[in-house]
């Protein structure tokens, strides 16, 4: 109820402003939004629930203790593991799946990356801005489930019907001895070493990818827009001053024991009681957050690094992030100029892969300084 009334009020005010000033409504959209901002007091936060992984997850850890190997034998085992997984391409058991056309509603898979750090870059106009370096670290497609099967196995009836299948992507290969056998067997279909991180993306069937396909930074192009999803920094249990930015109370003037407290929790009469969504101390951070429509300014193909717009990607350095094509309508790639389908393959770069790709508006460091014409 509260939401509806706020929105209608805002629209009404916006229309009124338009009528008074004779300016088209879209020009006032933003102004109206700011001036009529109404805070909706409902329970938005869900309580952080620390649960075990669901029943259908295989047990991941190898709980059996390893036997002590001599140095030579340890080297030998590592040699075998290395030989086993070295030649990735030969692990694709079938012929590559045919590539399909990109459509307006196509949704491709995403990639898993780690956050490396924040560095400034400059545009061709000489403006400074910050980018975050995201390294697509050792990604492979582990499994593809077509929509018909995915609808049945997801455990609930998806509202999207049979629009999406799912792709499981793994990142960071590691020693198979660290994991349980059941977990290692998840990777037999793809023929890759067991991965430390697994994640799932919803894809349309025309963007299906064969298991075992490597995903690199070339999955995206410089200039594309992506959504980035990651867990925010875990601050633990925090008070209201840090968690919600409340002011607390003065250091002196008779204040006792209330310097960082939140003060009143509500009024009396009709509005009595503590309302749902009241900002209180509690667990802060460690929540999934999405940043939408971030531009990729630059790609380094050697280290598989994407330079993504903005200094505020959630999480710590070396946090794990999910990157996929943006869902924002006006920033999605156009069908006539689309990214590689379903992902980049070597045949896409006939002239060979360059070390770096830049957005056209980015000032490249090896070019002359920006200067303005008279």
Partner 1 sequence: MLRFRIRTRPRKMASLEGLGSGPEGRLKRLRKHVTALIRHERLETTYAQCDETRGYAEKLITMAVRNGDRDKHTMEMADYWLLEKDLIHKLFKVLVPRYQSLPATATSIHRISTEYPGDGRHMGVLELKGNPWPPVRPQPRNTRLHLHNIQLEEAKKEYHQERLRAKSAAAAVPPEGSSVDGPAGSSVDPDPIDSESESGESKNSGDSSKR
Partner 2 sequence: MALLAHVARGCSRIPKLQLEAALSVRFQSTLSHNDTKARRARELRPRRNYLLNDEVEQHRKSLLQQSPEVEEIPVQQAEANVPRDFRHVMPEFLPDPNPLYRDRVTEKLERMDMYRRRTCIDIPEFYVGSIMAVTMADHHAPGKQSRFVGICIQRSGTGLRADFTLRNVIDGQGVEVRFDMYGASLQKIEVLKLEQRLDDELFYLRDAAQEYSTIPFDFEPVPLPKGATVPVNSTKVKLNPRPWLERWERHELKGVEDLNLPEKKYRRARQVAKPWERWDLMKRQRESINEDEEESIMKETYMETESTRRARGRQKASLKKTR
Which residues ranging from 142 to 201 are in contact with partner 2 (CB under 8 A)?
172-177, 181-182, 184-189, 191, 193-194, 196
The per-residue DSSP string of 6-73 comes to HHHHHHHHHHHHHHHHT--HHHHHHHHHHHT-----S--PPPP---PPPTTSPP-B--SPPPPPPHHH
Q: Which stretch binds partner 1 (CB under 8 A): 84-92, 115-123, 167-175, 357-365?
A: 84-92
Residue 233 binds to partner 1 (criterion: CB under 8 A): no
Residue 343 binds to partner 2 (criterion: CB under 8 A): no
d(CA 286, CA 365): 36
Shortest distance, position 214 Cβ to partner 1, whole Å: 18
**Residue 123 class from Cβ within 10 Å (0-12 exposed, 13-18 middle, 19+ buried)?**
middle
Q: Which stretch binds partner 1 (CB under 8 A): 33-41, 58-66, 252-260, 337-345?
A: 58-66
Residue 170 near residue 192 (C-beta atoms within 8 A): yes
Residue 166 near which of partner 2, partner 1, none (CB within 5-8 Å, type-dependent):
none
Residue 135 binds to partner 2 (criterion: CB under 8 A): yes
Q: Which stretch binds partner 1 (CB under 8 A): 4-12, 35-43, 67-75, 229-237?
A: 67-75
d(CA 218, CA 333): 15
Q: How many residues bind partner 2 (CB under 8 A)?
A: 80
Interface residue with partner 2, options 119, 255, 290, 328 (CB under 8 A): 119
User: And the tokens for 35?
Assistant: 């001036």
d(CA 335, CA 352): 24
Name every residue whose Cβ is closer than 8 Å to that of residue 235 and which is 6 or more positions away in sequence.
Answer: 242, 243, 284, 285, 286
Q: Which stretch binds partner 1 (CB under 8 A): 83-91, 123-131, 230-238, 248-256?
A: 83-91
- Closer CB to partner 1, residue 83 or residue 125? 83
The per-residue DSSP string of 100-149 comes to ----TT-----EEEEEEEEEEEEBTT--EEEEEEEEE-SEEEEEEE-HHH
Residue 90 near which of partner 2, partner 1, none (CB within 5-8 Å, type-dependent):
partner 1
Residue 58 binds to partner 2 (criterion: CB under 8 A): yes
- Closer CB to partner 1, residue 180 or residue 232? 180
Interface residue with partner 2, options 105, 316, 337, 361 (CB under 8 A): 316
Interface residue with partner 2, options 50, 156, 159, 330 (CB under 8 A): 50
Q: Which of residues 162-201 bind partner 1 (CB under 8 A)?
A: 177, 181-182
Residue 204 near residue 149 (C-beta atoms within 8 A): no
Shortest distance, position 78 Cβ to partner 2, whole Å: 7
φ, ψ for residue 267, nearest 5 deg: -95, -165
Q: Which of residues 207-236 bind partner 2 (CB under 8 A)?
A: 214, 231, 234
Cis, peptide link before residue 85, omega less than 30° from 0: no
d(CA 174, CA 99): 30
Residue 69 binds to partner 1 (criterion: CB under 8 A): yes
Residue 309 binds to partner 2 (criterion: CB under 8 A): no
- Closer CB to partner 2, residue 18 or residue 81? 81
Interface residue with partner 1, options 83, 94, 346, 347 (CB under 8 A): 83
Q: Which stretch binds partner 2 (CB under 8 A): 38-46, 266-274, 289-297, 312-320?
A: 312-320
Q: Which stretch binds partner 1 (CB under 8 A): 72-80, 229-237, 265-273, 338-346?
A: 72-80
d(CA 137, CA 172): 6
Burial profile 356-368: b = 16 or more Cβ within 10 angstroms, e = fewer: ebbbeebbeeeee
Interface residue with partner 1, options 68, 251, 274, 334 (CB under 8 A): 68
- Apex 17 CA angle, 12 and 22, nearest 5: 125
- Give me the residues that bind partner 1 (CB under 8 A), please: 62, 64, 66-70, 72-73, 76-77, 80, 83-84, 86-87, 90, 177, 181-182
């Amino acid at each position: 109820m509260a939401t509806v009334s706020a929105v209608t009020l805002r629209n009404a005010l916006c229309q009124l402003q338009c009528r008074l000033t004779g300016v088209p409504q879209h020009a006032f959209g933003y102004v109206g939004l700011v001036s009529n901002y109404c805070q909706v007091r409902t329970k938005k936060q869900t309580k952080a629930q620390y649960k075990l992984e669901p029943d259908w997850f295989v047990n991941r850890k190898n709980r059996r203790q390893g036997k002590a190997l001599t140095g030579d034998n340890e080297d030998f085992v590592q040699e075998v593991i290395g030989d086993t997984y070295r030649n990735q391409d030969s692990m694709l058991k079938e012929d590559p799946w045919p590539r399909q056309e990109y459509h307006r509603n196509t949704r491709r898979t995403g990639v898993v990356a780690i956050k490396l750090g924040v560095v400034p870059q400059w545009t061709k106009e000489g403006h400074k801005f910050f980018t975050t370096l995201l390294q697509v670290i050792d990604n492979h497609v582990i499994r593809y489930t077509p929509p018909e099967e995915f609808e049945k196995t997801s455990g609930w009836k998806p509202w999207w019907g049979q629009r999406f299948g799912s792709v499981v992507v793994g990142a960071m290969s590691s020693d198979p001895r660290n994991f349980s056998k059941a977990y290692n067997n998840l990777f037999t279909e793809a023929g890759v070493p067991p991965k430390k991180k697994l994640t799932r993306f919803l894809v349309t069937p025309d963007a299906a990818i064969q298991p075992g396909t490597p995903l690199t930074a070339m999955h995206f192009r410089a200039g594309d827009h992506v959504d980035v999803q990651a867990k925010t920094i875990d601050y633990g249990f925090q008070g209201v001053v840090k968690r919600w930015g409340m002011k607390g109370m003065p250091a002196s003037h008779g204040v006792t024991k209330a310097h960082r407290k939140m003060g009143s929790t509500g009024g009396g009469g009709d509005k009595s009681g503590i309302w749902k969504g009241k900002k209180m101390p509690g667990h802060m951070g460690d929540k999934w957050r999405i940043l939408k429509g971030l531009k990729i300014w630059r790609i380094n193909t050697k280290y598989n690094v994407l330079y993504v717009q903005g200094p505020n990607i959630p999480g710590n350095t070396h946090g794990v992030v999910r990157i996929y094509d943006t869902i924002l309508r006006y920033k999605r790639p156009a069908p006539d100029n689309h990214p590689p389908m379903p992902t980049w393959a070597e045949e896409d770069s006939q002239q060979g892969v360059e070390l770096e790709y830049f957005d056209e508006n980015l000032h490249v460091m090896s070019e002359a300084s920006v200067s303005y014409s008279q």
